[in-house]
Chains A and B, each alone.
Chain A
Amino acid sequence: MRTSLGLLAFLGFTLFLLAAMISLRPFGEPPHREMDDWFITHAQIEASANNVVTSIVFDYRGFDTLGEATVLFTAVSGVLMVLRRREVKG
Protein backbone atom coordinates (compact mmCIF):
# COMPACT_ATOMS: atom_id res chain seq x y z
CA MET A 1 0.00 0.00 0.00
CA ARG A 2 2.71 2.48 0.97
CA THR A 3 4.89 1.48 -1.98
CA SER A 4 2.07 1.94 -4.50
CA LEU A 5 1.19 5.32 -2.99
CA GLY A 6 4.81 6.43 -3.24
CA LEU A 7 5.03 5.17 -6.81
CA LEU A 8 1.84 7.07 -7.69
CA ALA A 9 3.17 10.29 -6.16
CA PHE A 10 6.49 9.82 -7.96
CA LEU A 11 4.76 9.31 -11.31
CA GLY A 12 2.46 12.27 -10.82
CA PHE A 13 5.32 14.58 -9.84
CA THR A 14 7.41 13.40 -12.80
CA LEU A 15 4.55 14.06 -15.20
CA PHE A 16 4.02 17.51 -13.65
CA LEU A 17 7.69 18.40 -14.07
CA LEU A 18 7.72 17.07 -17.65
CA ALA A 19 4.66 19.15 -18.53
CA ALA A 20 6.30 22.21 -16.98
CA MET A 21 9.48 21.52 -18.96
CA ILE A 22 7.60 21.18 -22.23
CA SER A 23 5.71 24.44 -21.73
CA LEU A 24 8.89 26.43 -21.01
CA ARG A 25 9.70 29.32 -23.30
CA PRO A 26 12.69 28.92 -25.61
CA PHE A 27 15.98 30.08 -24.09
CA GLY A 28 16.74 33.75 -24.57
CA GLU A 29 13.22 34.83 -25.51
CA PRO A 30 11.57 36.38 -22.46
CA PRO A 31 7.95 37.59 -22.77
CA HIS A 32 8.84 41.22 -21.95
CA ARG A 33 12.20 42.45 -23.16
CA GLU A 34 11.85 46.24 -23.23
CA MET A 35 13.75 46.75 -19.96
CA ASP A 36 16.54 44.33 -20.95
CA ASP A 37 17.03 46.13 -24.25
CA TRP A 38 17.13 49.47 -22.44
CA PHE A 39 19.85 48.23 -20.08
CA ILE A 40 21.91 46.67 -22.85
CA THR A 41 21.82 49.72 -25.12
CA HIS A 42 22.14 52.42 -22.44
CA ALA A 43 24.53 50.94 -19.85
CA GLN A 44 27.67 52.19 -21.59
CA ILE A 45 26.22 55.66 -22.16
CA GLU A 46 24.53 56.31 -18.80
CA ALA A 47 26.54 54.26 -16.31
CA SER A 48 29.84 54.24 -18.25
CA ALA A 49 30.48 50.55 -17.54
CA ASN A 50 31.28 47.70 -19.89
CA ASN A 51 29.90 45.22 -17.35
CA VAL A 52 26.13 45.62 -17.60
CA VAL A 53 25.54 43.49 -14.49
CA THR A 54 27.66 45.83 -12.36
CA SER A 55 25.89 48.85 -13.80
CA ILE A 56 22.54 47.32 -12.80
CA VAL A 57 23.69 46.24 -9.34
CA PHE A 58 25.39 49.52 -8.38
CA ASP A 59 23.48 52.08 -10.43
CA TYR A 60 20.03 51.15 -11.70
CA ARG A 61 19.17 49.02 -8.66
CA GLY A 62 21.48 50.59 -6.12
CA PHE A 63 18.91 50.35 -3.33
CA ASP A 64 19.08 46.57 -3.59
CA THR A 65 22.83 46.65 -3.02
CA LEU A 66 22.37 49.09 -0.14
CA GLY A 67 20.02 46.57 1.49
CA GLU A 68 22.51 43.75 0.94
CA ALA A 69 25.28 45.79 2.52
CA THR A 70 23.02 46.55 5.48
CA VAL A 71 22.21 42.86 5.91
CA LEU A 72 25.91 41.97 5.91
CA PHE A 73 26.70 44.78 8.35
CA THR A 74 23.94 43.66 10.71
CA ALA A 75 25.03 40.02 10.54
CA VAL A 76 28.65 40.86 11.33
CA SER A 77 27.66 43.21 14.15
CA GLY A 78 25.45 40.49 15.61
CA VAL A 79 28.15 37.81 15.43
CA LEU A 80 30.78 40.05 16.96
CA MET A 81 28.40 41.25 19.67
CA VAL A 82 27.31 37.74 20.65
CA LEU A 83 30.82 36.27 20.67
CA ARG A 84 32.50 39.21 22.35
CA ARG A 85 31.11 38.40 25.81
CA ARG A 86 32.89 35.07 25.94
CA GLU A 87 36.09 36.80 24.91
CA VAL A 88 35.78 39.15 27.89
CA LYS A 89 34.78 36.39 30.31
CA GLY A 90 37.74 34.20 29.46
Chain B
Amino acid sequence: MTTTIIKTTTKILAPLILIFGSYIILHGHLTPGGGFQGGAVFASGLALLIVANKYETVKAMLEKVPLNVFESIGALGFLGMACLGFAGYTFFKNVIANSGFPIFGEKTPVGINPGYLNTGGTLSYMNIFVGMKVLAALTSIVLIFFLIMRRERDEW
Protein backbone atom coordinates (compact mmCIF):
# COMPACT_ATOMS: atom_id res chain seq x y z
CA MET B 1 0.00 0.00 0.00
CA THR B 2 2.99 2.33 -0.18
CA THR B 3 1.96 4.31 -3.22
CA THR B 4 3.22 7.81 -3.93
CA ILE B 5 -0.14 9.35 -2.99
CA ILE B 6 -0.15 7.76 0.46
CA LYS B 7 3.50 8.62 1.07
CA THR B 8 3.06 12.30 0.12
CA THR B 9 -0.18 12.66 2.09
CA THR B 10 1.42 11.07 5.14
CA LYS B 11 4.40 13.44 4.98
CA ILE B 12 2.04 16.40 5.20
CA LEU B 13 -0.67 15.04 7.50
CA ALA B 14 1.15 12.90 10.07
CA PRO B 15 2.93 15.74 11.94
CA LEU B 16 -0.31 17.72 12.09
CA ILE B 17 -2.23 14.71 13.44
CA LEU B 18 0.43 14.03 16.08
CA ILE B 19 0.44 17.67 17.21
CA PHE B 20 -3.35 17.73 17.34
CA GLY B 21 -3.38 14.55 19.46
CA SER B 22 -0.92 16.03 21.95
CA TYR B 23 -2.98 19.21 22.09
CA ILE B 24 -6.15 17.26 22.89
CA ILE B 25 -4.36 15.31 25.64
CA LEU B 26 -2.74 18.37 27.24
CA HIS B 27 -5.87 20.55 27.09
CA GLY B 28 -8.17 17.78 28.33
CA HIS B 29 -9.28 19.80 31.35
CA LEU B 30 -10.07 22.94 29.32
CA THR B 31 -11.54 21.93 25.96
CA PRO B 32 -13.61 18.97 24.74
CA GLY B 33 -11.58 15.78 24.57
CA GLY B 34 -9.22 14.20 27.04
CA GLY B 35 -6.86 11.32 27.49
CA PHE B 36 -8.78 8.63 25.64
CA GLN B 37 -9.70 10.75 22.64
CA GLY B 38 -6.31 12.41 22.31
CA GLY B 39 -4.55 9.07 22.62
CA ALA B 40 -6.75 7.65 19.87
CA VAL B 41 -5.94 10.61 17.59
CA PHE B 42 -2.21 10.25 18.29
CA ALA B 43 -2.39 6.49 17.63
CA SER B 44 -4.19 7.09 14.33
CA GLY B 45 -1.32 9.35 13.25
CA LEU B 46 1.17 6.65 14.17
CA ALA B 47 -0.97 4.09 12.32
CA LEU B 48 -0.78 6.28 9.22
CA LEU B 49 3.01 6.36 9.55
CA ILE B 50 3.11 2.56 9.99
CA VAL B 51 0.91 1.90 6.95
CA ALA B 52 2.78 4.28 4.67
CA ASN B 53 6.25 2.88 5.27
CA LYS B 54 8.02 -0.31 4.27
CA TYR B 55 8.15 -3.43 6.46
CA GLU B 56 11.86 -3.18 7.22
CA THR B 57 11.71 0.54 8.05
CA VAL B 58 8.78 0.13 10.44
CA LYS B 59 10.37 -2.87 12.13
CA ALA B 60 13.73 -1.16 12.58
CA MET B 61 12.13 2.06 13.86
CA LEU B 62 9.57 0.65 16.27
CA GLU B 63 11.71 -2.14 17.71
CA LYS B 64 13.50 0.47 19.81
CA VAL B 65 10.27 1.98 21.18
CA PRO B 66 9.14 0.16 24.37
CA LEU B 67 5.38 0.35 23.80
CA ASN B 68 4.55 -2.17 26.54
CA VAL B 69 6.55 -0.10 29.03
CA PHE B 70 4.55 3.00 28.04
CA GLU B 71 1.33 1.07 28.54
CA SER B 72 2.38 -0.12 32.00
CA ILE B 73 3.59 3.35 33.01
CA GLY B 74 0.24 4.79 31.93
CA ALA B 75 -1.82 2.28 33.89
CA LEU B 76 0.32 2.43 37.05
CA GLY B 77 0.55 6.22 36.90
CA PHE B 78 -3.22 6.53 36.63
CA LEU B 79 -3.65 4.23 39.63
CA GLY B 80 -0.95 6.11 41.57
CA MET B 81 -2.63 9.46 40.87
CA ALA B 82 -5.87 7.96 42.17
CA CYS B 83 -4.06 6.63 45.27
CA LEU B 84 -2.73 10.14 46.04
CA GLY B 85 -6.18 10.77 47.45
CA PHE B 86 -5.39 8.47 50.36
CA ALA B 87 -3.32 11.35 51.81
CA GLY B 88 -6.08 12.37 54.18
CA TYR B 89 -9.04 11.90 51.85
CA THR B 90 -10.63 9.10 49.80
CA PHE B 91 -9.68 7.23 46.63
CA PHE B 92 -9.80 9.50 43.52
CA LYS B 93 -9.92 12.70 45.60
CA ASN B 94 -8.39 15.58 43.63
CA VAL B 95 -5.73 16.61 46.17
CA ILE B 96 -3.56 18.74 43.84
CA ALA B 97 -6.40 21.01 42.65
CA ASN B 98 -6.29 24.55 44.12
CA SER B 99 -3.38 23.59 46.39
CA GLY B 100 -0.72 25.86 44.88
CA PHE B 101 1.41 22.97 43.59
CA PRO B 102 3.72 24.43 40.89
CA ILE B 103 2.60 22.09 38.08
CA PHE B 104 -1.15 22.00 37.33
CA GLY B 105 -1.96 23.22 40.83
CA GLU B 106 -3.17 26.80 40.40
CA LYS B 107 -6.60 28.01 41.38
CA THR B 108 -9.30 28.05 38.70
CA PRO B 109 -11.34 31.25 38.58
CA VAL B 110 -15.01 30.43 39.09
CA GLY B 111 -17.30 31.48 36.27
CA ILE B 112 -16.55 32.26 32.66
CA ASN B 113 -12.80 32.36 32.02
CA PRO B 114 -10.50 31.82 29.00
CA GLY B 115 -9.04 28.62 30.49
CA TYR B 116 -5.62 28.43 32.10
CA LEU B 117 -3.37 25.46 31.29
CA ASN B 118 -1.77 25.37 34.74
CA THR B 119 -4.96 24.25 36.51
CA GLY B 120 -6.76 20.97 36.91
CA GLY B 121 -4.79 19.14 39.62
CA THR B 122 -4.77 15.38 39.21
CA LEU B 123 -7.11 15.62 36.20
CA SER B 124 -4.28 16.87 33.99
CA TYR B 125 -1.86 14.19 35.20
CA MET B 126 -4.51 11.49 34.65
CA ASN B 127 -5.17 12.84 31.16
CA ILE B 128 -1.48 12.55 30.30
CA PHE B 129 -1.15 9.04 31.77
CA VAL B 130 -4.33 7.75 30.11
CA GLY B 131 -3.29 9.33 26.81
CA MET B 132 0.09 7.60 26.96
CA LYS B 133 -1.61 4.30 27.79
CA VAL B 134 -4.19 4.51 24.99
CA LEU B 135 -1.69 5.54 22.33
CA ALA B 136 0.69 2.73 23.29
CA ALA B 137 -2.14 0.19 23.32
CA LEU B 138 -3.72 1.12 19.98
CA THR B 139 -0.33 1.51 18.28
CA SER B 140 0.84 -1.91 19.46
CA ILE B 141 -2.37 -3.55 18.16
CA VAL B 142 -2.00 -1.87 14.73
CA LEU B 143 1.71 -2.67 14.68
CA ILE B 144 1.34 -6.37 15.43
CA PHE B 145 -1.44 -6.76 12.82
CA PHE B 146 0.77 -4.94 10.29
CA LEU B 147 3.83 -7.07 11.03
CA ILE B 148 1.91 -10.36 10.81
CA MET B 149 0.05 -9.34 7.63
CA ARG B 150 3.17 -8.17 5.83
CA ARG B 151 5.20 -11.24 6.79
CA GLU B 152 2.50 -13.65 5.67
CA ARG B 153 2.12 -11.79 2.41
CA ASP B 154 5.85 -12.06 1.84
CA GLU B 155 5.66 -15.80 2.50
CA TRP B 156 2.84 -16.39 0.00
Please report which residues of chain A, range 58-90, place their CB below 8 angstroms from some CB of chain B when the two chains form the complex. 58-59, 62-63, 65-66, 68-69, 72-73, 75-76, 79-80, 83-84, 86-87, 90
Interface string of A44-60 (1 = CB under 8 A from B): 11111111011101110
- The answer to whether A44 and B141 have CB atoms under 8 Å apart is no
Smallest Cβ-Cβ distance to A42: which chain B residue: B110
Q: In the complex, which residues of chain B have a beta carbon less than 8 angstroms from the beta carbon of A55?
A: 29, 123
Q: Given contacts A49-B123, A50-B108, A57-B34, is CB(A69)–CB(B78) below 8 Å? A: yes
Q: Knowing A54-B127, A62-B92, A69-B75, say if A87 contacts B120 (CB, 8 Å).
A: no
Contacts of B29 in A (CB 8 A): 48-51, 54-55
Contact residues, B55-80 vs A (CB, 8 A): 68, 71, 74-75, 78-79
Are B133 and A72 in touch, CB under 8 angstroms? yes
Whether A54 pairs with B28 at a CB distance below 8 angstroms is yes
Tally chain B residues at the interface, Cβ within 8 Å: 46
The reply to whether A48 and B147 form a contact with Cβ atoms under 8 Å apart is no
Interface residues on A, range: 20 to 34
* Chain A interface SS verdict (over half): helix
List the interface of chain B (C-beta within 8 A of A).
28-32, 34-36, 68, 71, 74-75, 78-79, 82, 91-92, 94, 97-98, 107-111, 113, 115, 119-123, 126-127, 130, 133-134, 137, 140-141, 144-145, 147-148, 151, 155
